[in-house]
Amino acid sequence: PLIQRLDYQQPPYWIRKVDLTFDLDPAKTLVTSKMQVERNTAVPHGPLRLHGEELNLLRVLINGAGVSFRQEGAELVIDNPPDEDFAFEIRNTLCPEKNTALSGLYTSGGSFFTQCEAEGFRRITYFLDRPDVMAVYTVTLRADKARFPVLLSNGNLTRSGDLDNGKHFAVWDDPFPKPSYLFAVVAGDLVAREQRVRTRAGKDHLLQVYVRRGDLEKTEHAMNSLIASMVWDEARFGLPLDLERFMVVGVSDFNMGAMENKGLNIFNTSALLASPATATDADFARIESIVAHEYFHNWTGNRVTCRDWFQLSLKEGLTVFRDQEFSMDMAGTPSARAVCRIQDVRQLRALQFPEDSGAMAHPVRPDSYSEINNFYTATVYEKGSEVVRMYQTLVGRAGFEAGMKLYFERHDGQAVTCDDFAQAIADANPGSALDTRLDAFKRWYGQAGTPRVKAHGEHDAAARTYTLRLSQQTPATPGQTDKQPQVIPIVMGLLDRHGMPLPLDADGKKEQVLVLDQSEQTVVFQNIDSEPVPSLLRGFSAPVVLDDGLSDAALLVLMRHDSDPFNRWEAGQRLALNRILAALRAGQPLQLSNAFIEAMRGVLNHAELDPAFKELALTLPGESYIAEQLDVVDPQAIHAAVIAAQQQLAAALRDDWIAAFEAHQIAGGYTPDPVSSGKRALANLALSMLVLDAQATGDTVWPGKAYQRFKDASNMTDRLGALAALVNAGSSLAAPALERFHALFKDDALVIDKWFSLQARAPEVEGRVFARAKALTKHADFTLKNPNRARSLLASLCMFNPAAFHRADAAGYVFWAEQVLAIDAINPQLASRIARAMDRWAVLAEPYRSAAREAVARVAAKPDLSADVREIVERALASG
């Protein structure tokens, strides 16, 4: 059934207090739930309807006595509950070890874990499983002491001890009222790294990171990240930790990255465990940001939560914004901050832009859904974060902090909406560019699609004026044809043709925020002597596609001289993109211009630019971003153009790559700081270019060096970088290196995931990568039951390797359909993620388009699909 945002109604009952007892057993867990229920007098009297899925109901008592009830679909209905507050008791059992969907209570590696967001609590016991029902929980856990020595739930441990028959118990009290999606239980044979900290407010806290025995050495980075997050949130937003104890737990079977359960965050081990030998620089950075993200949710999500799931971006967009700001502050220097920003924008363009122009396009605040798990998307998270960033751009950093303060003053302890957030930021900044346009600004929550902004400048030499004409238009998306103008902050400056910044007004200001809020708008700058180069949308100040029509000459000025590092990077990307698109449109082989190659050489050899920035500037735009610029997408042609560009850059800059590789070796031990990881990134890019070029020239020196480096590397970044150089170039040394890598790391699941994913993401040559990936599904280490492993092969191939996946013989689509159906029987959430590989089938060129449609239709024709996959494939079919 389709749930509509505008149908929201308060529940007819509130559950204020819950007393839960678990008798934990993998095969049959008994849950006893004692609730205090109160009628909600704000809405008409009606039956009490509780959600419940895959449960065996044993008994239902009201005020201690049996009561008549019905089971209606997935609901337990009590037609005539008392008018007065009453005590309500439910007993049910469930089978955690058979729970392969990893939602609710399940087992992994012999321990118990929960995942309740969004609607998993109803798979544990019957409940009003919706985020506006907030209760105080007391949880008693009972289990076999030898098998499950650690018993954890939310809040504070109040009692524990031994029971008969080798069992023990623990009682946990969470003093903060919370929605059921933040409930958590963990029980098993785990060990913890512990740290006591005192906050600025003078409170003492115990921090714990729980993992399986043997993984303790890999938790140091997560603990450091947690401490840094605490310090940052107190310093930047004045938000302290509110619990005596804060626990983080790792689990290898997990559908997402991590979960912010109150006081008991649960993490996918891929987002928690790191050691120099097994994790890359990118892993270290990702762990820091996810640990921070979950910690920051304690205020933005837990203390103030969502009224209903349509408001998901209220907590996710805001918390992503906070974790991005944290990562930038941790990075330190302006250049390192820019590197973070560029990476975030690259991610947005690679994932969210295609989503916004495909079958699943939806607003940051969706209007309807049939399965809420399908809306934990790049739009809700990453575009949602860009929306929060625009508030900050419109009211300034201090204004935004004042807005956050007011938001907590008004709404602490409540379940609220995106409107409440917008109102708080605006009210704290009366008369601001936001406050005066609040209704129009809120269109960012309601309109799907990425706005197109056009800019055209005209210089009048006689009048010494520069006139900038701006216009905007948001394309139609499924179900939304007419769009209104958005409020688009455009941070900008003007450069003269030598790259010197020009004053924008009489005060000599060099940068300003233009607020575009009409379909068309004109701005005139005075006292401009000669044709300037506009630098628009600095720092990517709004999630839009900008067409400023700049010539290559103007882009070169920006690339060399702009004061904004993001736009320097962007200018280089635009130069590359222009070349690639021109070749694709003309159907001609790609030929990079000398000007472009010399510009890239200039970046690579630049004396002042950071290595991390150089690496980003020298990396060509991704294939999915290139596809975004085209009305009809031929994945094979795009791939061919990108490979040609890479080969030309590899050959033309060969000596420079050698110099860069040699200049960026690091002596001494490994640290994942931005400077060292930037050097490693550039050295690894140089190595991959050198091996690629060697493959073309027949040189054996660089492949040999890469193999040696692969063998001798003292950290995973360099080892994997060298391995990737061999694999991606199609070197004959790739096979022995892959074999050696597998033998070295066969007992480390997270590293074996990298082994699968590297092979499935390799550049396609004559169908060999596809054939290898298909064969890997039969590998002894492959399983569909572990989401990380399934994704490492299937998402890598179907979602991140377009040239291997989109085949003229349709074998990729047939494979996709088989895998989606097989996973759907085990884990619908995971299946529906992989199903999204077909989101953009309708823009494919023939013969891909017809074959893709047929595969989607075949999946949609299956009668017993999960609601998750059904929603994805039906939306896909409707989008054509």
Residues in 274-293 that interact with ligand ARG by CB under 6 A: 293
Residue 260 in contact with ligand ARG, rule: CB under 6 A: yes
Is 321 or 376 the residue whose CB approaches ligand ARG more closely?
376
How far is residue 245 from each of residues 138, 207, 210, 226, measured CA to CA in Å?
A: 16, 6, 13, 13
Is 308 or 435 the residue whose CB approaches ligand ARG more closely?
308
Residues in 290-309 that interact with ligand ARG by CB under 6 A: 293-294
> Residue 113 and residue 96: Cα distance in Å, rounded?
9
Q: What angle separates helix 701-712 from helix 716-729, to the nearest 10 degrees?
A: 150
Q: Residue 245: in which H helix or E strand, if any?
A: strand 245-251
Is 257 or 767 the residue whose CB approaches ligand ARG more closely?
257
What are residue 178's DSSP bridge partners? 135
Q: Where are the beta strands (DSSP E) in 474-621?
A: 488-495, 501-502, 512-516, 520-525, 533-535, 545-547
Is 50 or 259 the residue whose CB approaches ligand ARG more closely?
259
Residues in 308-327 that interact with Zn ion by CB under 5 A: 316, 319
**Cβ neighbours of residue 723 closer than 8 Å, sequence gap 6 or more:** 710, 734, 737, 738, 741, 758
Is 319 or 474 the residue whose CB approaches Zn ion more closely?
319
For residue 128, the partner it binds in ligand ARG, Zn ion, none, with Cβ less than 5 to 8 A by kind, is none
Does the active-site annotation cover 294?
A: yes
How far is residue 71 from each of residues 2, 49, 66, 82, 179, measured CA to CA in Å?
A: 21, 9, 15, 19, 24
Q: Which stretch binds ligand ARG (CB under 6 A): 111-119, 355-363, 630-638, 794-802?
A: 111-119
> Residue 45 and residue 41: Cα distance in Å, rounded?
8
**Cβ neighbours of residue 351 closer than 8 Å, sequence gap 6 or more:** 378, 382, 624
> Residue 721 and residue 680: Cα distance in Å, rounded?
9
Q: Which of 288, 294, 386, 764 is catalytic?
A: 294
Is 129 or 628 the residue whose CB approaches ligand ARG more closely?
129
Q: Which stretch binds ligand ARG (CB under 6 A): 112-120, 423-431, 599-607, 617-625?
A: 112-120
For residue 373, the partner it binds in Zn ion, ligand ARG, none, with Cβ less than 5 to 8 A by kind, is ligand ARG
Tell me, residue by residue from 770 to 809, as one string, x for binding to ligand ARG by CB under 6 A and - for no binding.
----------------------------------------
For residue 118, the partner it binds in ligand ARG, Zn ion, none, with Cβ less than 5 to 8 A by kind, is ligand ARG
Residue 53 in contact with ligand ARG, rule: CB under 6 A: no
Residue 855 in contact with ligand ARG, rule: CB under 6 A: no
Q: DSSP secondary-structure letter at 435?
A: G
Residue 324 in contact with ligand ARG, rule: CB under 6 A: no
For residue 338, the partner it binds in Zn ion, ligand ARG, none, with Cβ less than 5 to 8 A by kind, is none
For residue 117, the partner it binds in ligand ARG, Zn ion, none, with Cβ less than 5 to 8 A by kind, is ligand ARG
Q: Which stretch binds ligand ARG (CB under 6 A): 114-122, 394-402, 441-449, 835-843?
A: 114-122
* 3-class DSSP assignment, residue 828: helix
> Closest approach of Cβ 478 to ligand ARG, in Å?
22
> Closest approach of Cβ 297 to Zn ion, in Å?
6
Residue 255 in contact with ligand ARG, rule: CB under 6 A: yes
Member of 105, 152, 258, 336 binding ligand ARG (CB under 6 A)? 258
How far is residue 784 from each of residues 100, 101, 242, 435, measured CA to CA in Å?
A: 10, 11, 39, 50
Q: Is the peptide bond before 118 cis (omega within 30 degrees of 0)?
A: yes
Tell me, residue by residue from 811 to 840, as one string, x for binding to ligand ARG by CB under 6 A and - for no binding.
------------------x-----------
Q: Is the dihedral of CA 64, 121, 19, 307 positive or negative?
A: negative
The residue written with tokens 């070169």 in the block is 556
Member of 48, 118, 390, 804 binding ligand ARG (CB under 6 A)? 118
* 3-class DSSP assignment, residue 859: helix
Cα–Cα nearest to 395, from 506, 305, 312, 487: 487
Q: DSSP secondary-structure letter at 154?
A: S
Residue 326 in contact with ligand ARG, rule: CB under 6 A: no
> Residue 280 and residue 287: Cα distance in Å, rounded?
11
Member of 33, 373, 429, 731 binding ligand ARG (CB under 6 A)? 373
The residues binding ligand ARG (CB under 6 A) are 115, 117-118, 255-256, 258-260, 293-294, 316, 373, 376, 829
Residues that bind Zn ion (CB under 5 A): 316, 319
Question: Looking at the annotation, which residues are catalytic?
Answer: 294
